[in-house]
Amino acid sequence: MKFPEKQIYFFYGNEEERLNQARVELVSFLLTREEREENYVEFSPSATKKYLPLASVMPELLAELGTMSFFPDSKRVVVVYNLQELYGGERGKRKPPAEKEEKEEKGEKEEKKKITPEAYFIKYLQDQLPQTHNVLILINVEDLEENIRIAENSTLVKALVKLGHHEHKQFSSTALRFKLEDAIRERNLPKTIDISRSWIEKDEESSRRGIFQATLKLIILMLQAKISLKKKETFNLQSDLTKTLFPQDLKFNYFKEHDFVQKKIMEGQKRYTTGELTEALRKLLPINQYLYPQTTDPYVPDFQIIMERFFVELISQRR
């Protein structure tokens, strides 16, 4: 991977593996193996914390960024993980800077109180970092399930984007969800298993709910498609079916889907019997309970194993 020559690099997103890969490639681009021993420093949260407050590392961080390398024409590379002030919501709350020496005059103290750690940090990056050859790399992992995201409209984030190079390493489950639905509709067991495993590998936390909900929705819609065929003589209008038999929730209403999706669902339901789809719904009920286990549960089975067993029982061809 090629990187533009900058002094600030900002990588963020929910793909932690890709973020780490970008860091490794960038450090290799900036420093030789011999240079890393003396010129590579990391700042990360403590073992009990997920996020690193800027104020807690500001003196050491700026000292490292201002240190000149022993190697001629070499850079000092500083990596900061999960800087708290870059996140939105509660994670991005601003805190007043700590007072410094007691000997400072009152007027100077009042002036310093007005400067937040973020503002001081931005000023340093603008004015003092360019006087060195050193490089700052910021790595921030987002947690979409907990709604922990980068505050893209914050002053600090905007400054980083303006002054340096940034990349958003975002995993989207949409493509995998569509592929999983297609595989189930096609009654293709190997393909279904491969896609579900790939999804879990990429995003272990949110994939469980995503796989379950995609499977549940598809089975419900295929069952509705079967009902619509059997009841079409009784009900002449789609609106009658929608109001009388199908839920008002747009996510679980066959007739609320796009025409192209309805066509795919109608083709898929032909490969399953009504009994198979009904039995599948019954089997999904206990699996749903495992998605949100209670502390009183004596045992919670592995989600990947129980879903793969479910797919085998549902998709395996009838004898």
Average pLDDT over residues 258-285: 93
CA pair distance 223, 109, nearest whole angstrom: 70
> Which CATH topology does 174-315 take?
Zinc Finger, Delta Prime; domain 3 (1.20.272)
What's the chain's average pLDDT? 84
Average confidence (pLDDT) over 5-18: 90
Residue 169: per-residue pLDDT? 81
Residue type, 191: K
Closest of 203, 55, 69, 52 to residue 139, by C-alpha: 52
Please state the rounded mean pLDDT for residues 197-219. Answer: 88
Distance CA 266, CA 288 (A): 26
**pLDDT computed for residue 279 by the predictor:** 95
Q: Is 176 helix (H, G, I), strand (E, B) or coil?
A: helix
pLDDT over threshold 60, residue 242: no
More confident residue, 237 or 3: 3
CA dist 241 and 137 (Å) reads 57
Q: Is the pLDDT of residue 94 over 60?
A: no
CATH 1.20.272.10 in the chain, residues?
174-315
pLDDT score recorded for residue 109: 52
Percent of the chain's residues with pLDDT above 70: 83
Q: Averaging pLDDT over each range in 16-25, 108-117, 277-286, which range is the top one?
A: 277-286
Give the model's pLDDT for residue 146. 75
Q: What is the pLDDT of residue 97?
A: 34
pLDDT at residue number 271: 95
Q: pLDDT band at 181, cuts 50/70/90?
A: very high
What pLDDT shows up at residue 100? 40
Give the alpha-carbon dihedral of 201, 204, 206, 212, to 10 degrees.
70
Mean pLDDT over 282-291 rounds to 88
Per-residue pLDDT reduced to its tens digit, 101-146: 344 455 555 555 568 999 999 999 999 999 999 999 999 999 876 7
Q: Model confidence at 308, in pLDDT bands (50, 70, 90)?
A: very high
Rounded average pLDDT over 29-47 = 91
Above 50 in pLDDT, residue 98? no
Q: What is the pLDDT of residues 44-83, one digit of tens each?
A: 999 889 999 999 999 999 999 998 877 677 889 999 999 9
* pLDDT on residue 106: 52
- Overall fold of domain 8-168: Rossmann fold (3.40.50)
Q: Which residue has the tokens 């995993």?
A: 171
Mean of pLDDT values over 145-166: 91
Q: How confident is the model at residue 304 (pLDDT cuts 50, 70, 90)?
A: very high
DSSP string, 244-309: HTS-S-GGG-GGGS-HHHHHHHHHHHTTS-HHHHHHHHHHHHHHHHHHS--TT-S----HHHHHHH
The one-character DSSP state at 41 is: E
Q: Where are the domain boundaries for CATH 3.40.50.300 in the chain?
A: 8-168
What value does the mean pLDDT take over residues 166-186? 86
